[in-house]
Structure 1
Amino acid sequence: MVTDVRVWCLRHAESENVTAGIAGVVPRAPLTERGHCQAAEAARGLDGEPIVRIYSSTALRARQTAAALASRGCGVVSVDDLAEVGIGADEGATDPAVRERTADVLRAWVVAGDLEQRVADGESGREVVARMSAVFRQLAAAHPGETVAVVGHVASLTVALAHLCGLGSRVWGRPLPHAEPFLVEWDGSSWRCSAWPMSVPVEAEDGDGLGDRGAGDW
Protein backbone atom coordinates (compact mmCIF):
# COMPACT_ATOMS: atom_id res chain seq x y z
CA MET A 1 0.00 0.00 0.00
CA VAL A 2 1.38 3.41 -1.02
CA THR A 3 1.44 5.82 1.93
CA ASP A 4 3.79 8.54 0.64
CA VAL A 5 2.28 12.02 0.45
CA ARG A 6 3.82 15.06 -1.25
CA VAL A 7 2.81 18.51 0.06
CA TRP A 8 3.80 21.67 -1.78
CA CYS A 9 3.85 24.31 0.95
CA LEU A 10 4.00 28.05 0.45
CA ARG A 11 3.55 31.26 2.34
CA HIS A 12 0.81 33.43 0.79
CA ALA A 13 1.83 36.11 -1.70
CA GLU A 14 2.60 39.68 -0.61
CA SER A 15 -0.34 41.28 1.18
CA GLU A 16 -1.34 44.70 2.48
CA ASN A 17 -0.79 43.82 6.14
CA VAL A 18 2.84 42.97 5.35
CA THR A 19 3.54 46.18 3.42
CA ALA A 20 1.81 48.22 6.15
CA GLY A 21 3.69 46.49 8.97
CA ILE A 22 0.51 45.33 10.74
CA ALA A 23 1.10 42.52 13.23
CA GLY A 24 -1.18 39.56 13.84
CA VAL A 25 -3.56 37.26 12.05
CA VAL A 26 -5.24 40.16 10.19
CA PRO A 27 -7.67 37.84 8.35
CA ARG A 28 -9.16 40.40 5.96
CA ALA A 29 -5.93 41.82 4.50
CA PRO A 30 -5.91 41.31 0.69
CA LEU A 31 -3.00 40.72 -1.65
CA THR A 32 -1.19 43.66 -3.15
CA GLU A 33 -0.90 44.02 -6.92
CA ARG A 34 2.57 42.54 -6.63
CA GLY A 35 1.12 39.73 -4.56
CA HIS A 36 -1.34 38.78 -7.30
CA CYS A 37 1.59 38.58 -9.74
CA GLN A 38 3.54 36.41 -7.28
CA ALA A 39 0.56 34.06 -6.87
CA ALA A 40 0.23 33.70 -10.63
CA GLU A 41 3.95 32.94 -10.89
CA ALA A 42 3.63 30.26 -8.18
CA ALA A 43 0.80 28.68 -10.14
CA ARG A 44 2.96 28.56 -13.25
CA GLY A 45 5.79 27.03 -11.25
CA LEU A 46 3.55 24.20 -10.10
CA ASP A 47 2.15 23.55 -13.55
CA GLY A 48 2.52 19.86 -14.29
CA GLU A 49 2.47 18.82 -10.63
CA PRO A 50 -0.34 16.27 -10.01
CA ILE A 51 -1.96 18.35 -7.26
CA VAL A 52 -5.36 16.95 -6.32
CA ARG A 53 -6.38 19.48 -3.65
CA ILE A 54 -5.26 22.85 -2.28
CA TYR A 55 -5.58 23.57 1.43
CA SER A 56 -5.55 27.18 2.53
CA SER A 57 -5.71 29.27 5.66
CA THR A 58 -9.05 31.08 5.96
CA ALA A 59 -7.27 34.47 5.75
CA LEU A 60 -8.16 36.42 2.62
CA ARG A 61 -4.53 36.72 1.47
CA ALA A 62 -4.08 32.94 1.66
CA ARG A 63 -7.38 32.24 -0.10
CA GLN A 64 -6.49 34.66 -2.90
CA THR A 65 -3.13 32.95 -3.34
CA ALA A 66 -4.82 29.55 -3.36
CA ALA A 67 -7.33 30.75 -5.94
CA ALA A 68 -4.49 31.46 -8.35
CA LEU A 69 -3.21 27.90 -7.87
CA ALA A 70 -6.73 26.53 -8.30
CA SER A 71 -6.92 27.99 -11.79
CA ARG A 72 -5.15 24.76 -12.80
CA GLY A 73 -8.38 22.88 -12.05
CA CYS A 74 -8.17 21.50 -8.49
CA GLY A 75 -10.41 22.57 -5.63
CA VAL A 76 -9.55 24.68 -2.58
CA VAL A 77 -10.42 23.80 1.02
CA SER A 78 -10.10 26.51 3.70
CA VAL A 79 -8.80 25.24 7.03
CA ASP A 80 -9.05 27.28 10.25
CA ASP A 81 -5.99 25.64 11.81
CA LEU A 82 -3.66 26.84 9.04
CA ALA A 83 -4.01 30.39 10.41
CA GLU A 84 -1.11 32.63 11.34
CA VAL A 85 -0.04 32.77 14.99
CA GLY A 86 -2.50 34.62 17.18
CA ILE A 87 -1.07 37.42 19.33
CA GLY A 88 -4.13 38.28 21.41
CA ALA A 89 -4.34 41.87 22.60
CA ASP A 90 -1.52 42.90 20.25
CA GLU A 91 -3.48 41.87 17.14
CA GLY A 92 -3.36 44.61 14.52
CA ALA A 93 -0.52 46.55 16.16
CA THR A 94 1.92 48.63 14.12
CA ASP A 95 4.23 49.36 17.08
CA PRO A 96 7.82 48.31 16.24
CA ALA A 97 8.13 46.99 19.81
CA VAL A 98 5.40 44.43 19.08
CA ARG A 99 7.17 43.33 15.92
CA GLU A 100 10.39 42.96 17.88
CA ARG A 101 8.59 40.86 20.47
CA THR A 102 7.05 38.60 17.81
CA ALA A 103 10.50 38.01 16.30
CA ASP A 104 11.91 37.23 19.76
CA VAL A 105 9.13 34.74 20.46
CA LEU A 106 9.55 32.97 17.13
CA ARG A 107 13.27 32.76 17.74
CA ALA A 108 12.61 31.19 21.15
CA TRP A 109 10.35 28.60 19.53
CA VAL A 110 12.59 27.70 16.60
CA VAL A 111 16.11 28.17 17.97
CA ALA A 112 15.76 27.53 21.70
CA GLY A 113 12.88 25.07 21.46
CA ASP A 114 11.00 27.08 24.11
CA LEU A 115 7.43 26.52 22.99
CA GLU A 116 5.89 28.09 26.08
CA GLN A 117 6.65 31.65 24.98
CA ARG A 118 3.82 33.76 23.53
CA VAL A 119 3.11 37.32 22.40
CA ALA A 120 0.78 39.12 24.81
CA ASP A 121 -2.11 36.75 25.57
CA GLY A 122 -1.82 34.99 22.22
CA GLU A 123 -0.92 31.41 21.32
CA SER A 124 2.05 29.55 22.71
CA GLY A 125 4.37 27.74 20.36
CA ARG A 126 3.07 24.46 21.75
CA GLU A 127 -0.48 25.40 20.72
CA VAL A 128 0.62 26.43 17.23
CA VAL A 129 2.61 23.23 16.67
CA ALA A 130 -0.32 21.13 17.93
CA ARG A 131 -2.91 22.60 15.58
CA MET A 132 -0.62 22.69 12.55
CA SER A 133 0.60 19.13 13.19
CA ALA A 134 -3.00 17.96 13.34
CA VAL A 135 -3.62 19.42 9.87
CA PHE A 136 -0.60 17.64 8.41
CA ARG A 137 -1.66 14.34 10.02
CA GLN A 138 -5.07 14.74 8.41
CA LEU A 139 -3.47 15.40 5.02
CA ALA A 140 -1.33 12.29 5.33
CA ALA A 141 -4.39 10.20 6.19
CA ALA A 142 -6.58 11.66 3.45
CA HIS A 143 -4.10 11.62 0.54
CA PRO A 144 -1.95 8.47 0.51
CA GLY A 145 0.04 8.34 -2.72
CA GLU A 146 -1.13 11.83 -3.75
CA THR A 147 0.16 15.39 -4.05
CA VAL A 148 -1.51 18.40 -2.43
CA ALA A 149 -0.67 22.05 -1.78
CA VAL A 150 -0.87 24.07 1.46
CA VAL A 151 -1.04 27.87 1.49
CA GLY A 152 -0.24 29.28 4.92
CA HIS A 153 1.72 31.88 6.85
CA VAL A 154 5.34 32.55 7.68
CA ALA A 155 5.40 32.03 11.45
CA SER A 156 2.98 29.12 11.81
CA LEU A 157 4.50 27.23 8.86
CA THR A 158 8.04 27.87 10.09
CA VAL A 159 7.59 26.67 13.66
CA ALA A 160 5.42 23.70 12.64
CA LEU A 161 7.71 22.41 9.90
CA ALA A 162 10.84 23.02 11.96
CA HIS A 163 9.25 20.66 14.50
CA LEU A 164 7.64 18.13 12.15
CA CYS A 165 10.63 17.75 9.84
CA GLY A 166 13.28 17.90 12.55
CA LEU A 167 14.84 21.03 11.05
CA GLY A 168 15.18 22.91 14.31
CA SER A 169 17.24 26.09 14.12
CA ARG A 170 18.52 25.29 10.61
CA VAL A 171 15.65 27.35 9.15
CA TRP A 172 16.40 30.37 11.33
CA GLY A 173 17.60 33.37 9.35
CA ARG A 174 15.82 32.10 6.23
CA PRO A 175 12.31 33.62 6.37
CA LEU A 176 9.87 32.07 3.95
CA PRO A 177 9.56 34.26 0.85
CA HIS A 178 6.15 35.10 -0.50
CA ALA A 179 4.51 32.50 -2.75
CA GLU A 180 7.55 30.30 -3.29
CA PRO A 181 6.52 26.61 -3.14
CA PHE A 182 8.72 24.07 -1.39
CA LEU A 183 8.20 20.35 -0.99
CA VAL A 184 7.43 18.53 2.26
CA GLU A 185 7.03 14.74 2.08
CA TRP A 186 5.47 12.06 4.27
CA ASP A 187 7.04 8.59 3.93
CA GLY A 188 4.50 6.74 6.04
CA SER A 189 6.26 7.34 9.34
CA SER A 190 7.80 10.84 9.31
CA TRP A 191 7.86 14.18 7.52
CA ARG A 192 10.91 15.51 5.70
CA CYS A 193 11.85 18.72 3.91
CA SER A 194 14.99 18.38 1.81
CA ALA A 195 15.38 22.10 1.07
CA TRP A 196 13.99 25.30 2.56
CA PRO A 197 12.95 27.97 0.00
CA MET A 198 15.46 30.22 -1.79
CA SER A 199 17.26 27.01 -2.82
CA VAL A 200 19.18 26.86 0.45
CA PRO A 201 19.73 23.24 1.57
CA VAL A 202 18.70 22.67 5.17
CA GLU A 203 22.04 20.93 5.75
CA ALA A 204 23.84 24.28 5.32
CA GLU A 205 25.13 26.21 8.30
CA ASP A 206 22.65 27.77 10.71
CA GLY A 207 21.33 31.28 10.25
CA ASP A 208 21.35 33.99 12.89
CA GLY A 209 17.86 35.43 12.91
CA LEU A 210 14.57 35.65 11.12
CA GLY A 211 14.62 39.43 10.72
CA ASP A 212 11.75 41.86 10.25
CA ARG A 213 10.64 40.44 6.90
CA GLY A 214 10.25 37.01 8.44
CA ALA A 215 7.85 38.29 11.08
CA GLY A 216 5.86 40.24 8.48
CA ASP A 217 2.59 38.33 8.87
CA TRP A 218 2.46 39.06 12.55
Structure 2
Amino acid sequence: MRILLIRHGQTPSNVSGALDTAFPGAGLTDLGLSQAAAVPDALEGEGIAGLYASRLVRTQLTAQPLATRLGLPVVVQEGLEEINAGDLEMATGKEAVTAYLEALADWIDGTLETPVPGGEAGHEFLARFDAAVRAVADKHDADDTVAIVTHGAAIRMWTGLRTKESPAFGDENRIRNTGLAIVEGDPDGGWVTTSWNNDPLGGAHLIGEGF
Protein backbone atom coordinates (compact mmCIF):
# COMPACT_ATOMS: atom_id res chain seq x y z
CA MET A 1 0.00 0.00 0.00
CA ARG A 2 1.04 3.55 -0.70
CA ILE A 3 -0.05 6.32 1.69
CA LEU A 4 0.11 10.03 0.92
CA LEU A 5 0.35 11.81 4.28
CA ILE A 6 -0.72 15.42 3.73
CA ARG A 7 -0.54 18.11 6.38
CA HIS A 8 -3.64 20.33 6.61
CA GLY A 9 -3.75 23.90 5.29
CA GLN A 10 -2.83 26.97 7.31
CA THR A 11 -5.02 27.87 10.31
CA PRO A 12 -5.23 31.02 12.45
CA SER A 13 -3.51 29.04 15.21
CA ASN A 14 -0.58 28.31 12.90
CA VAL A 15 -0.22 32.04 12.28
CA SER A 16 -0.33 32.91 15.99
CA GLY A 17 1.92 29.99 16.96
CA ALA A 18 -0.68 28.40 19.24
CA LEU A 19 -0.51 24.72 20.19
CA ASP A 20 -3.98 23.94 18.87
CA THR A 21 -4.59 20.16 19.12
CA ALA A 22 -8.03 19.73 20.75
CA PHE A 23 -11.32 18.91 19.01
CA PRO A 24 -12.71 20.51 16.88
CA GLY A 25 -9.79 22.88 16.33
CA ALA A 26 -9.47 25.93 14.11
CA GLY A 27 -10.62 26.27 10.52
CA LEU A 28 -8.49 27.47 7.63
CA THR A 29 -7.22 30.95 6.81
CA ASP A 30 -7.68 32.38 3.32
CA LEU A 31 -4.18 31.11 2.54
CA GLY A 32 -5.10 27.72 3.97
CA LEU A 33 -8.09 27.55 1.63
CA SER A 34 -5.80 28.41 -1.29
CA GLN A 35 -3.36 25.71 -0.22
CA ALA A 36 -6.19 23.18 -0.07
CA ALA A 37 -7.46 24.26 -3.49
CA ALA A 38 -4.01 23.58 -4.99
CA VAL A 39 -3.84 19.99 -3.74
CA PRO A 40 -5.96 18.32 -6.48
CA ASP A 41 -3.79 19.57 -9.34
CA ALA A 42 -0.61 18.65 -7.46
CA LEU A 43 -1.84 15.07 -6.96
CA GLU A 44 -3.25 14.62 -10.47
CA GLY A 45 -2.57 11.11 -11.71
CA GLU A 46 -1.86 9.56 -8.31
CA GLY A 47 -4.75 7.10 -8.67
CA ILE A 48 -6.05 7.71 -5.16
CA ALA A 49 -8.50 5.00 -4.07
CA GLY A 50 -9.50 6.47 -0.71
CA LEU A 51 -9.38 9.80 1.12
CA TYR A 52 -9.20 10.09 4.90
CA ALA A 53 -8.98 12.90 7.46
CA SER A 54 -8.76 13.29 11.21
CA ARG A 55 -11.65 14.41 13.40
CA LEU A 56 -10.27 17.95 13.48
CA VAL A 57 -12.04 20.41 11.19
CA ARG A 58 -8.95 21.72 9.45
CA THR A 59 -8.05 18.36 7.92
CA GLN A 60 -11.55 17.84 6.54
CA LEU A 61 -11.62 21.33 5.02
CA THR A 62 -8.22 20.66 3.43
CA ALA A 63 -9.41 17.34 2.00
CA GLN A 64 -12.62 18.70 0.49
CA PRO A 65 -11.25 20.09 -2.82
CA LEU A 66 -9.48 16.78 -3.46
CA ALA A 67 -12.65 14.87 -2.59
CA THR A 68 -14.63 16.96 -5.06
CA ARG A 69 -12.06 16.37 -7.82
CA LEU A 70 -11.89 12.62 -7.19
CA GLY A 71 -15.58 12.07 -6.53
CA LEU A 72 -14.70 10.38 -3.25
CA PRO A 73 -16.04 11.00 0.26
CA VAL A 74 -13.79 12.35 3.00
CA VAL A 75 -13.80 9.50 5.50
CA VAL A 76 -13.19 10.75 9.05
CA GLN A 77 -10.94 8.25 10.80
CA GLU A 78 -10.54 8.51 14.56
CA GLY A 79 -6.93 8.30 15.69
CA LEU A 80 -5.37 10.49 13.00
CA GLU A 81 -5.47 13.60 15.22
CA GLU A 82 -2.52 15.78 16.19
CA ILE A 83 -0.32 14.88 19.15
CA ASN A 84 -2.26 16.15 22.15
CA ALA A 85 -0.78 19.25 23.79
CA GLY A 86 -2.40 18.56 27.17
CA ASP A 87 -1.70 21.36 29.64
CA LEU A 88 -0.04 23.35 26.86
CA GLU A 89 -3.19 23.56 24.72
CA MET A 90 -3.43 26.92 22.91
CA ALA A 91 -0.24 28.20 24.55
CA THR A 92 1.90 30.44 22.35
CA GLY A 93 4.94 31.12 24.53
CA LYS A 94 8.41 29.86 23.69
CA GLU A 95 8.61 27.81 26.89
CA ALA A 96 5.40 25.93 26.09
CA VAL A 97 6.44 25.17 22.52
CA THR A 98 9.86 24.04 23.72
CA ALA A 99 8.30 21.72 26.31
CA TYR A 100 6.09 20.16 23.63
CA LEU A 101 8.99 19.63 21.24
CA GLU A 102 11.28 18.28 23.97
CA ALA A 103 8.79 15.53 24.77
CA LEU A 104 8.65 14.57 21.10
CA ALA A 105 12.45 14.60 20.87
CA ASP A 106 12.53 12.12 23.76
CA TRP A 107 10.30 9.79 21.75
CA ILE A 108 12.69 9.86 18.82
CA ASP A 109 15.52 9.07 21.25
CA GLY A 110 13.58 6.00 22.41
CA THR A 111 11.94 7.27 25.59
CA LEU A 112 8.34 6.70 24.62
CA GLU A 113 7.18 6.98 28.24
CA THR A 114 7.78 10.74 28.26
CA PRO A 115 4.43 12.56 28.10
CA VAL A 116 3.71 15.95 26.69
CA PRO A 117 2.89 17.85 29.94
CA GLY A 118 -0.67 16.83 30.74
CA GLY A 119 -0.94 15.09 27.35
CA GLU A 120 -0.13 11.76 25.78
CA ALA A 121 3.09 9.78 25.92
CA GLY A 122 4.83 8.42 22.85
CA HIS A 123 3.51 4.88 23.19
CA GLU A 124 -0.04 6.24 23.50
CA PHE A 125 0.31 8.33 20.35
CA LEU A 126 1.76 5.41 18.40
CA ALA A 127 -0.96 3.02 19.55
CA ARG A 128 -3.81 5.19 18.34
CA PHE A 129 -2.13 6.37 15.11
CA ASP A 130 -1.07 2.80 14.26
CA ALA A 131 -4.63 1.62 14.85
CA ALA A 132 -5.97 4.36 12.55
CA VAL A 133 -3.53 3.47 9.77
CA ARG A 134 -4.44 -0.21 10.10
CA ALA A 135 -8.13 0.65 9.90
CA VAL A 136 -7.45 2.51 6.65
CA ALA A 137 -5.30 -0.31 5.26
CA ASP A 138 -7.97 -2.89 6.06
CA LYS A 139 -10.37 -1.10 3.71
CA HIS A 140 -8.05 -1.36 0.71
CA ASP A 141 -6.08 -3.70 -1.50
CA ALA A 142 -2.34 -4.04 -1.08
CA ASP A 143 -1.58 -2.10 -4.28
CA ASP A 144 -3.90 0.85 -3.54
CA THR A 145 -2.82 4.44 -3.03
CA VAL A 146 -4.71 6.37 -0.36
CA ALA A 147 -4.47 9.97 0.87
CA ILE A 148 -4.60 10.85 4.57
CA VAL A 149 -4.92 14.50 5.58
CA THR A 150 -3.52 14.79 9.09
CA HIS A 151 -1.17 16.96 11.17
CA GLY A 152 2.43 18.13 11.11
CA ALA A 153 3.82 16.74 14.36
CA ALA A 154 1.87 13.50 13.88
CA ILE A 155 3.37 12.99 10.41
CA ARG A 156 6.89 13.73 11.60
CA MET A 157 6.66 11.48 14.65
CA TRP A 158 4.88 8.56 13.01
CA THR A 159 7.27 8.47 10.05
CA GLY A 160 10.22 9.01 12.38
CA LEU A 161 9.26 6.11 14.65
CA ARG A 162 7.50 3.71 12.31
CA THR A 163 9.19 3.88 8.91
CA LYS A 164 12.57 2.89 7.57
CA GLU A 165 14.75 5.49 5.86
CA SER A 166 12.66 8.22 7.44
CA PRO A 167 13.68 11.88 7.61
CA ALA A 168 12.52 11.56 11.23
CA PHE A 169 12.34 14.48 13.57
CA GLY A 170 14.70 17.33 12.75
CA ASP A 171 14.71 21.03 11.99
CA GLU A 172 15.68 20.30 8.40
CA ASN A 173 12.65 18.06 7.91
CA ARG A 174 9.74 20.13 9.07
CA ILE A 175 6.57 19.82 7.05
CA ARG A 176 4.73 22.99 6.13
CA ASN A 177 0.99 23.30 5.58
CA THR A 178 -0.06 20.91 2.77
CA GLY A 179 3.42 19.40 2.70
CA LEU A 180 3.54 15.71 1.77
CA ALA A 181 5.24 12.56 3.01
CA ILE A 182 4.77 9.30 1.09
CA VAL A 183 5.13 5.91 2.77
CA GLU A 184 4.84 2.43 1.30
CA GLY A 185 4.32 -0.95 2.92
CA ASP A 186 1.72 -2.46 5.23
CA PRO A 187 0.93 -2.60 8.94
CA ASP A 188 2.44 -6.06 9.41
CA GLY A 189 5.49 -5.90 7.18
CA GLY A 190 6.37 -2.32 8.05
CA TRP A 191 6.65 0.98 6.20
CA VAL A 192 9.29 2.87 4.24
CA THR A 193 9.28 6.63 3.65
CA THR A 194 9.79 7.03 -0.10
CA SER A 195 9.28 10.79 -0.49
CA TRP A 196 9.30 13.92 1.66
CA ASN A 197 8.10 17.30 0.38
CA ASN A 198 8.36 20.02 3.00
CA ASP A 199 6.74 22.75 0.88
CA PRO A 200 3.00 23.14 0.13
CA LEU A 201 1.79 20.85 -2.64
CA GLY A 202 0.90 23.83 -4.79
CA GLY A 203 4.42 25.24 -4.65
CA ALA A 204 6.64 27.43 -2.50
CA HIS A 205 4.59 30.55 -3.30
CA LEU A 206 1.96 29.17 -0.93
CA ILE A 207 4.27 29.10 2.10
CA GLY A 208 2.72 31.10 4.94
CA GLU A 209 3.82 32.54 8.25
CA GLY A 210 3.80 30.72 11.56
CA PHE A 211 4.18 26.95 11.92
Give the stretch that moved more between structures: 165-174 or 19-28: 165-174
Spell out the pairing of 1:70-85 with structure 2 (5 A cutoff).
Answer: 70-72=67-69, 73-85=71-83
CA shift digits 1:171-205 (9 cap, x unpaired): 42211121123321115722111222249xxxxxx
Aligned to 1:38: 35
Q: What is aligned with 1:210? A: none
Q: Which residue of structure 1 aligns with residue 202 of structure 2?
A: none
Deviations 1:197-217 (A, max 9, x none): 249xxxxxxxxxxxxx6xx4x
1:33 is displaced (CA, Å) by 0.8
The corresponding residue for 1:6 is: 2
Give the unaligned 5+ runs of structure 2.
Answer: 200-209
1:7/1:169 Cα in 2 relative to 1: closer, same or farther (>3 Å)? closer
1:90-129 equivalences under 5 Å are 90-110=88-108, 112-129=109-126
Counterparts of 1:51 and 1:169, CA distance in 2:
24
**Distance change (3 Å), C-alpha of 1:170 and 1:96:** closer
**Helix, strand or coil: the match of 1:138?**
helix
TM-score by length of 2: 0.85
Distance 1:165 1:14 in 2: 26
Q: Structure 2 CA distance, aligned partners of 1:102 and 1:180? A: 21
Is the counterpart of residue 182 in structure 1 residue 181 in structure 2? yes
Cα distance in 1 for partners of 2:113, 2:93 equals 23
**Counterpart amino acid of residue 174 in structure 2:** P
Aligned pairs for 1:181-200 within 5 A: 181-186=180-185, 189-198=189-198
Distance 2:78 2:138 in 1: 18
Q: Alpha-carbon deviation of 1:7?
A: 1.0
**Contact 1:24–1:85 (CA<8 Å) still a contact in 2?**
no
SS at match of 1:67: helix
Q: Report how far residue 169 of structure 1 moved.
A: 6.5
The residue that corresponds to 1:149 in the other structure is: 147
Shift of 1:139: 2.2
Residue identity in the other structure for 1:175: R
Aligned mate of 1:50, from 43, 47, 50: 47
Residue among 1, 18, 22 paired with 2:14: 18
- Quote the residue 1:206 is aligned against: none
Aligned amino acid, residue 126 of structure 2: V
Identity rate, percent: 31
Shift of 1:167: 4.3
Q: Where does structure 1 differ by over 6 angstroms across 4 or more consecutive aligned residues?
A: none
Between 61-70 and 175-184, the greater mean CA deviation after superposition: 175-184
Q: What is the alpha-carbon distance in structure 1 between the residues aligned to residue 166 and residue 174 of structure 2? A: 14
Instruction: Give the number of equivalent residue pairs.
Output: 197
Separation in structure 2 between the aligned mates of residue 182 and residue 101 of structure 1, nearest angstrom = 25
Q: In the TM superposition, what whole-angstrom CA distance separates every residue of 1:68-91 from its partner, at most 9, and x where no partner exists?
A: 211211111112211111122221
Q: CA RMSD in A?
A: 2.1
Q: 3-state SS of the aligned residue for 1:49?
A: coil
Any gaps of 5 or more consecutive residues in structure 1?
A: 200-212
* TM-score, normalization by structure 1: 0.83
How far does residue 150 in structure 1 lie from its aligned partner after superposition?
0.3
Tell me if the contact between 1:31 and 1:64 (Cα under 8 Å) persists in the aligned partners.
yes
